[in-house]
């Protein structure tokens, strides 16, 4: 085997990125987009294998895009096609350019180079007891498959990037990954996402038809049968808060998922139906954050929590589960916003009641912290990953070795 020179990697080597999405619509997708943009900026040819990509990015002369379909909207099938196509592209590129680097996400493609982990399936097994039986069956199959693919993919990796220190610990403690190859790199920030100005706040309120004298609480997240994002905990707390005369806030829920119709129906029949709005999927999260006074995210498992990160960047206080990766970045002055137990709706009530009288004071505290978050951009994150890849400078592995890894996991 020959060693790769760092200069050669930096100047000439193409990269292969295998990712579900490379766009600005989701947390993981944004992260992948930032890395691809950084690589293009440094004159690398980038081969992207994905289900969805930013249209503008796809027009770049140095990018080669392999679009992978999702037949019948079955992500279970789509993920396997992504894995197969990712291996094919990685093999083709590395045969032609042995110094090429390949980045995969978790268990989405069993290629033994750089694995960028945004979720650890072994860290939390969601339950779907209230889902239809067919969904429960499919869910169990999907989780078992995800764990198996995750284990194979991560144990094959030569360099692992974790999106938080929490993820890093899970990889080492639960999967037995050697600590020397796992590095925590936090997600970055949108440079233009600064604390909301009074004018932005007022304009965003008008768009939502939200009265200026009523605080707005925001929930952003997927609404699935697994209840991972903790919407059930929030709505239990909300039902009790709305019984108290002093509680004058309204709730907006942004997010889509199979369980959305069920939650909409339950809320419509409740005593607080006029105090909550379900928006479904929306691309207007920046506008929602501009209008919000508080974000609540009582997640049961979250490897990071970009919704919380973005709220803080906009100067919006965020109550989040202490189990979320983003919680490790909270300074001591914001620790009262961390929820120790995401199942404890009574504790969530106490924290929301604590926030309400000091609304403006909490906003000032968060604005100080937001400066720190804004100083670390998506480009900074991509640069850290790039430097880790360059300085790890592993020896070239024979493609036959990699085929062995792929063969055991297909």
pLDDT tens for the chain, 410 residues long, are 233 333 334 457 899 999 999 998 878 899 999 999 999 999 999 999 999 999 889 999 999 999 999 888 787 788 999 999 999 999 999 999 999 999 999 999 999 999 999 999 888 876 666 667 566 666 677 777 778 888 888 988 999 999 999 999 999 999 999 999 999 999 999 888 888 899 999 999 999 999 999 999 999 998 988 888 999 999 999 999 999 999 999 999 999 988 899 999 999 999 999 999 999 988 888 899 999 999 999 999 999 999 999 999 999 999 999 999 999 999 999 999 999 999 999 999 999 999 999 999 999 999 989 999 999 999 999 999 999 998 875 554 444 454 444 444 44
Listed in sequence order, the DSSP H helices in 242-344 are 260-268, 285-291, 306-313
In a domain, 210, yes or no: yes
Does 126 reside within a domain? yes
Shared-domain flag, residues 223 and 302: yes
Residue 61 lies in a domain: yes
Beta-strand runs (E) in 10-141? 15-18, 21-22, 46-50, 52-53, 63-67, 101-104, 114-117
| Domain total of the chain | 2
How confident is the model at residue 3, as a pLDDT?
A: 32
Angle of helix 306-313 versus helix 359-374 axis, rounded to 10: 110
- The answer to whether position 148 is within a domain reads yes
Whether the CB-CB separation of 267 and 276 falls below 8 Å is answered with yes
Rg (CA), the chain: 22
Q: Are both 176 and 212 inside the same structural domain?
A: no
Q: Tell whether 193 is covered by a domain.
A: no
What range does the domain containing 299 cover?
Answer: 198-374
- Kindly state whether residues 233 and 381 are assigned to the same domain: no
Instruction: Note whether 169 and 24 are same-domain residues.
Output: yes
* 358 and 209 together in one domain: yes
Alpha-carbon distance 367 to 369, whole Å? 5
Residues 131 and 167 in one domain: yes
Q: Are residues 207 and 335 in the same domain?
A: yes
Is position 226 within any domain?
yes
Same domain, 181 and 283: no
d(CA 223, CA 375): 32
Q: What is the pTM of this model?
A: 0.88
How long a stretch of residues is the chain?
410
Q: 315 and 232 in one domain?
A: yes
Residues 67 and 160 in one domain: yes
CB 30 within 8 A of CB 24: yes
Verify that 365 and 246 share a domain, yes or no: yes
Question: Which CATH number goes with the domain that contains 106?
Answer: 3.40.50.2000
What are the phi and psi torsion angles at 376 (to 5°)? -110, 100
Q: Is residue 258 located within the same domain as residue 110?
A: no
pLDDT at 225: 82
DSSP letter at 179 equals G
Residue 212 lies in a domain: yes
C-alpha 352/C-alpha 241 separation (Å) is 9
Distance CA 45, CA 49 (A): 13
Gap between the Cα atoms of 123 and 125, Å rounded: 7
Using DSSP's 3-state secondary structure scheme, residue 115 falls into: strand
Answer yes or no: is 409 within a domain: no
């Amino acid at each position: 085997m020959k060693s790769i020179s760092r200069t050669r990697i930096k100047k000439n080597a193409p990269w292969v990125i295998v990712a579900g999405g490379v766009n600005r619509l989701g947390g993981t997708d944004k992260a992948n987009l930032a890395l691809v943009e950084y690589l293009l900026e440094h004159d690398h040819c980038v081969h992207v294998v994905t289900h969805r990509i930013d249209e503008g990015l796809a027009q770049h002369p140095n990018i080669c895009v392999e679009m992978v379909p999702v037949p019948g909207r079955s992500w279970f099938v789509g993920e396997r096609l992504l894995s197969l196509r990712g291996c094919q592209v990685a093999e083709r590129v590395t045969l032609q350019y042995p110094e090429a680097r390949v980045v995969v996400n978790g268990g989405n493609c069993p290629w033994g180079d750089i694995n960028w982990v945004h979720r650890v399936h072994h860290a939390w097994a969601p339950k779907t007891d209230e889902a239809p039986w067919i969904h429960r069956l499919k869910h169990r199959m999907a989780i078992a498959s995800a764990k198996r693919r995750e284990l194979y993919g991560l144990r094959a990796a030569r360099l692992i990037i974790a999106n938080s220190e929490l993820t890093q610990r899970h990889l080492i403690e639960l999967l037995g990954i050697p600590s020397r190859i796992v590095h925590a790199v936090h997600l970055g920030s949108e440079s233009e996402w600064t604390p909301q100005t009074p004018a932005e706040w007022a304009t965003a309120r008008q768009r939502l038809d939200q009265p200026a004298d009523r605080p707005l609480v925001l929930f952003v997240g997927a609404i699935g049968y697994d209840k991972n994002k903790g919407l059930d905990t929030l709505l239990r707390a909300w039902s009790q808060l709305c019984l108290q005369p002093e509680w004058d806030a309204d709730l907006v829920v942004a997010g889509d998922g199979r369980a959305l119709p069920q939650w909409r129906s339950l809320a419509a029949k409740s005593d607080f139906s006029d105090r909550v709005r379900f928006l479904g999927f929306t691309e207007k999260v920046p506008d929602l954050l501009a209008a919000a006074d508080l974000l609540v995210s009582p997640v049961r498992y979250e490897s990071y929590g970009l919704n919380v990160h973005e709220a803080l960047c906009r100067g919006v206080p965020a109550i989040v589960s202490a189990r979320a990766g983003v919680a490790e970045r909270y300074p001591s002055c914001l620790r009262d916003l961390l929820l120790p137990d995401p199942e404890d709706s009574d504790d969530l009530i106490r924290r929301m009641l604590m926030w309400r009288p000091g609304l403006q004071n909490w906003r000032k505290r968060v604005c100080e912290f937001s400066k720190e978050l804004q100083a670390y951009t998506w480009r900074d994150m991509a640069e850290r990953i790039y430097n880790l890849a360059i300085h790890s400078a592993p020896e070239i592995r024979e493609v036959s070795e990699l085929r062995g890894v792929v063969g055991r996991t297909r």
